[in-house]
Amino acid sequence: MIQPTSIAEQLMYSTVRIIAQNGAAISRGTGFFYNFPLKEEGQVVPAIITNRHVVQGSISQNFLLHLHDPKKGEKAPSGTFNVNIQAGLGNGWTEHPDPNVDLCVLPIAQIQNKVPAPHQPFYVPLGGVPGDEELKKLDAVEQVLMIGYPNGLWDHVNNLPLIRRGVTASHPGVDYQIEGQSGPGVTVIDMACFPGSSGSPVFIYNQGTIPEKNGNVSLGTRAIFLGVLFSGPVWQQDGNITVKNIPTKSVPVAEISTMINLGYVIKPREIVALGRHLYAKNGMVYPD
């Protein structure tokens, strides 16, 4: 395994492939690691975030954690640890307080404590989100990356996701309103979004040069968390366009529909709302 040094390499270790199960019913989706802040400096609540519909109806979830041995000074993963938890929505997983926002969160401190010593989990968590004003500084067309497991595909030997590239299809600073639906502010991306991509984090990503709206260009690399993929429009055989959650499993159906290579992304501010709700549920105060 390689030592992740670049931003792109670090993003490879920010996600986890989730297999949710209820009896013989199995669905697959993407989750990502996120550290919610605490008032105490340097203290966090580690968690996994995904779409509600990824785990809805399941009673257990399975995923692999990367491991490393800090006593050996390892800065790269050197093994994996299989995690199977008996949990569901409201029992382990906390849903977003707005039922129209397709997000849920699972604190993982206790799971991390089950990792056999001297190893520790190895992952690169997200932390902190851009505010609405920061998103308004972006341009209408920005390069984006999505990290996840489309169609459940992954590097099963190295436990790594796939990285997809696309562009924004709506301005990140404007709340795109999905016709006929109420819900959170959304950004639209121009990218093929297949089953298994539900819950994937999406990033504005520039490498080498960073364009600015005034036409200037600066040197460097940046990654800005844009939000979480949750659904996308599909084209029906009769010509109608409908919005559906990105499926978590591929099954044969009589209805013929085709994804039209657009994805709907929940904006970052909903991560903060999810964290506040998680803290309130557990008698904690979310730091401002």
pLDDT tens per residue across span 92-121: 999 999 999 999 999 999 999 889 888 999
d(CA 100, CA 267): 13
Tokens of 160: 């790594």
pLDDT tens digits along 41-95: 789 999 999 999 999 999 999 999 999 988 887 778 989 999 999 999 999 999 9
CA atoms within 13 A on the CB side of 88: 6
Report whether pLDDT(253) > 50: no
Residue 159 CA to chain centroid, in angstroms? 16
Dmax over CA atoms of the chain, in Å, equals 61
What is residue 260's predicted lDDT score, i.e. its pLDDT? 81
Closest CA to 30 of 50, 52, 9, 10: 50
Per the omega criterion (within 30 degrees of 0), is the bond before 118 cis? yes
What is residue 250's predicted lDDT score, i.e. its pLDDT? 45
- The rounded percent of the chain whose pLDDT value lies above 90 is 70
Q: Give the range with max mean pLDDT: 1-10, 200-209, 231-240.
A: 200-209
pLDDT-based confidence at 232, cuts 50/70/90?
confident
pLDDT tens digits along 160-189: 999 999 999 999 999 999 876 666 789 999
Contact 14, 124 (CB under 8 A): yes
Q: 17-31, 175-189, 273-287: which has the minimum mean pLDDT?
A: 175-189
Structural domains of the chain, ranges and CATH numbers in brackets: 7-127+270-281 (2.40.10), 132-268 (2.40.10.10)
d(CA 195, CA 264): 14
Q: 24-28, 103-107, 219-223: which has the minimum mean pLDDT?
A: 24-28
pTM of the predicted model, to two decimals? 0.91
Closest CA to 142 of 193, 205, 200, 202: 205
pLDDT-based confidence at 256, cuts 50/70/90?
very low
